[in-house]
Amino acid sequence: MSEMTFEQMLEDSFKNIHTGDIVEGTVISVTPSEIAVNIGYKSDGIVTKNEYSNDPSVELTEAVKPGDSISVKVLKLNDGDGQVVLSHKRIASEKVSKVLEDAFNDHTVLKAKVSEVVKGGLVATVDEVPVFIPASLASDTFTKNLNVFADKEIEFYMSEFNPAKRRYIGDCKTLLRERRDAAKEQALSHIAEGDVVEGTIKNVTSFGAFVDIGGIDGLLHISEMSWGRIDYPQNVFKKGDTVKVIIKEIKGDKVALSAKFDENNPWLGVENKYPVGTIVKGKVARMTDFGAFVQLEEGVDALLHVSQISRKRIEKPSDVLSVGDEIEAKVVDINIDDHKISLSMKELIAEEEDSAEIAGTSDAEEVNE
């Protein structure tokens, strides 16, 4: 047997590795862009930042130190400069691939941190495997600025699993809708028409406000916000306000609310305060082509029809009245059930003129005598 040369003995002392092998190595040095690793081979290996982690925010110099042990996968035995190309992230990726596959097949929930907000969606990293969540599946409501999800932990289903194309798609929307529907069903089972509950204003529109009453949203229509007239709900409520409401109606999964409590009803006893024939004073609150609405007190408006404004013919109320005018009129009709009071200035004027005529006649008679 011939003696081996030093070079041959040195060669034999190195590991025999192949592309695809997973080996243990020791970190030799670290820079912000790459890690040099001794893998017991004739050449050292290099792990670039991109092959260390899918998290773009990772700092290599903080993540590893010289002397640390590290598991790596051999991607290429020679990068052209004599170094072995290694990957750390792909080891975890291959292990996690099974987790993602099971989640896809079993429709189970995954939880991960949003590592990146990109054009068209989010990237959530599951142990080094990037899962793309399209903007349309990021939430169950429209979200214009996806940056609100940056660095947040989110939960989602796997809607697509294609390891051959390295295509992993997540879906938050379906999960959120399922949970919302479950919460709604639970909430509906605990409320009934007539219940008084507390809720939180979620959104205010021109026609009312949506109120979260514990897992379900109810509509507080503008007409049910107050016994008085409200023109702009935004002037009364804002998002986040706490409000006490009555469950007025439940129809399927739609809930109608009211903030008009009977004890605050200004129409209680109105028939006694303003019986037919009573002379009242009020302020013109608003006008239409057919008449003017006069506020007698907060929450109690009466209609002064255009035909009842004057003994002369008037085309429209605004010809003689303005919003804010103080007027005096006579109550000519009242309907408590429909919350309607009708006024007349014409009758009051007629009575005053008749009284003046009678007084004038009496004076003339006294003179003739």
Predicted pLDDT of residue 123: 95
d(CA 39, CA 88): 13
pTM of the model: 0.55
What is the pLDDT at residue 4? 55
- Phi and psi at 366, nearest 5°, equal -65, -35
Mapping DSSP to helix (H, G, I), strand (E, B) and coil, where does residue 155 land? strand
Residue 141's pLDDT band (cuts 50, 70, 90): confident
> What pLDDT band is residue 103 in, cutting at 50, 70 and 90?
very high
Domains and CATH numbers, the chain: 22-87 (2.40.50.140), 93-177 (2.40.50.140), 191-263 (2.40.50.140), 270-351 (2.40.50.140)
Helix (H, G, I), strand (E, B), or coil: what is residue 53?
A: coil
pLDDT tens profile 298-345? 889 999 999 999 988 889 999 999 999 999 999 999 998 888 999 999
Q: Which of 7-11, 109-113, 185-189, 298-302 tops mean pLDDT? A: 109-113
At 122 the three-state DSSP class reads: strand
Q: Which one, of 265, 262, 155, 258, lies nearest residue 213 by Cα? A: 258
Dist CA 95 CA 245 (whole Å): 53
CA–CA dist 141, 139 (Å, integer)? 5
